[in-house]
A and B are shown apart, each in its own frame.
Chain A
Amino acid sequence: MSETGYNFAYLDEGTKRMIRRAILKGIAIPGYQVPFASREMPMPYGWGTGGVQVTAAILGADDVLKVIDQGSDDTTNAVSIRKFFERTAGVETTTATTQATIIQTRHRIPETPLTEDQVLVFQVPIPEPLRFLEPRETETRRLHALADYGLMHVKLYEDIARHGHIATTYAYPVEVDGRYVMDPSPTPKFDNPKMDDCPALQLFGAGREKRIYAVPPYTKVTSLDFEDHPFAVQTFKQPCALCDAHDVYLDEIVLDDRGGRMFVCSDTDHCETRRGEGHRGAMLGTAPEAITAGGNSRV
């Protein structure tokens, strides 16, 4: 049920038009950060105000919305944003990646491959990949205009000089369609390859920094690297402790104060789906019969 008294999806129509114009420019200039007049939202900066504004501007009554926070559908940020749109737009929501038409994400790309019928909306804290190398906006803007990304290569090189390898593990810079260097938001670099040639449209919203950018479907997204230090994603020694999935991004969970820990899928929907299919990880317990017989278990 949607709240009365608010326009559909909270934002007024004038604000949506402004955001929509920015989105269209972002799509036409892949990887370029379009300035927009970000509004104050009923949640603090850092809680996804950019992503929320992008979602509100594209959302229609027929859309099915999924919101994830670090891959999880049931952490605070994801739950509150999902509720926000349930109340202000009355749209259907889901936790199933395959059911969603719009997926708003804080820092993960779902493990399930996305389709042409989906839009992925990223919440971005710092959209400017060069910001920590050059604090002046006038300068970073000029560097983008000149496609002068030497600074970024120096930064990656310094990683190698200091650590022997490129030590950047998240917000790993990418080049979009051979032109703009872009911050993929603080997703683990594990997700970078999923951005390349992705069938879904990817939109990025930075509320505090007031920028919107986009990667159209089927666009070349290359992680920056060197010939002798090629880009590589994280690998994990063991599979998910709950669903036994290999080749997925795992979260480390501390179990006790004696060094006990487990590694589980960061993507909760992927993990639940696999367990539903009968995959069992090494640490997956079995629910007591009293619970499963009650018929209310989620397995």
Chain B
Amino acid sequence: MSTALASGFRDAAHDAQKVFRVLMDALARPTTVQPLALDLIPPAPLTPELASIALALADQDAPLWLDETLGSEPAVAQWLGFHTGAPVVSDPAEAAFALVRDPRALPPLDAFALGTEEFPDRSTTVVLAVESLEGGTALRVEGPGLPRPGTLSPTPLPDEFIDTLRDNRTLFPRGVDFIFAAPGALAALPRSSRLTEEA
């Protein structure tokens, strides 16, 4: 006998709106830590924060890609499929949202959809589950959304992530947007953010 499927948002309209506003604030104000409190209990190893973002934004028009850690647990794809209706794709370049449970195993930048010069919006949003938004390598950036340079230090991060960010900015307006999802909080580095010189 199979176990019952864990529930999704209790209040679809208002929960999705809350998650979206937190994400919107995070992207509009890069590096700022935005609290996200929702009592979602998705199947492990999917974290409540990754799950909230998927439930809020993924659907039949916005496919998901799961990293190996998430993909190796069938209950994750099953839960996401049931609650969002989003296809789970095997090629990250076809995904609107890439859910990355183990940031150290992040695929190279060009594995994702980077958009085109004419449609830079046709790109993947990469959501990284991190343990904390503090204590890691300091990513010091400036650009839209920041009155002065801001610093975000998520951990863990992939090796050479600073190079990845620099490459990503070089592609502008193409590129991906990074969202960092720690327990109870989100932060973001959209493609518009530029690493400052001393970083």
**Which A residues fall within an 8 A CB radius of B?**
7-9, 13-14, 16-18, 20-30, 32, 34-35, 57-61, 116, 141-142, 144-146, 177, 179-180, 197, 199, 201, 214-220
Contacts and interface: CB of A to CB of B under 8 A. Distances in A.
Contacts of A30: 144, 192
Contacts of B173: 29, 32, 179-180
10 contacts: A9-B13, A27-B190, A29-B120, A58-B24, A60-B14, A61-B14, A201-B28, A216-B144, A218-B146, A218-B147
- Max chain B CB contacts within 10 Å: which of A14, A23, A28, A35? A28
Contacts of A217: 28-29, 144-145, 147
Contacts of B121: 22, 25-26, 29, 32, 34-35
Interface string B2-22: 000000000011101110110
Given A8-B13, A27-B24, A145-B117, 18 more contacts: A7-B13, A8-B14, A9-B13, A16-B20, A17-B16, A20-B20, A22-B121, A25-B177, A28-B190, A29-B192, A35-B121, A59-B17, A60-B14, A61-B14, A179-B172, A197-B147, A216-B145, A220-B144
A131 to B, nearest CB: 16
Contact of A28 (B20, B29, B191): B191
A215 B61 CA distance: 25
Interface of B: 12-14, 16-18, 20-21, 23-24, 27-29, 56-59, 61-62, 96, 116-121, 123, 125, 143-147, 172-173, 177, 190-192
A120 to B, nearest CB: 12
Contacts of B21: 58, 60
A14 B62 CA distance: 11
Which 8 pairs, one residue from A and one from B, show the smallest C-beta to C-beta distance? A28-B190, A145-B117, A25-B121, A216-B145, A219-B144, A216-B144, A8-B13, A218-B147
A60 B18 contact: yes
A22 B24 CA distance: 11
Contacts of A218: 144-147
A39 B14 CA distance: 21
Contacts of A116: 29
A125 to B, nearest CB: 22
Contacts of A8: 13-14, 17
A21 B192 CA distance: 16
B17 A60 contact: yes
Given A8-B14, A58-B24, A217-B145, A20 B56 contact: yes
A18 B56 CA distance: 10
B59 to A, nearest CB: 6
Contacts of A59: 17
Contacts of A26: 121
B62 A21 contact: yes
Among B13, B59, B117, B118, the one with the most A-chain Cβ atoms within 10 Å of its Cβ is B13
B16 A13 contact: yes
B183 to A, nearest CB: 22
Contacts of A22: 121
A214 B190 CA distance: 13
Nearest to B125: A24
A22 B62 CA distance: 11
Nearest to A12: B13
B118 A145 contact: yes
Of listed B120, B147, B173, residue having the most chain A CB within 10 A:
B173
Nearest to B194: A177
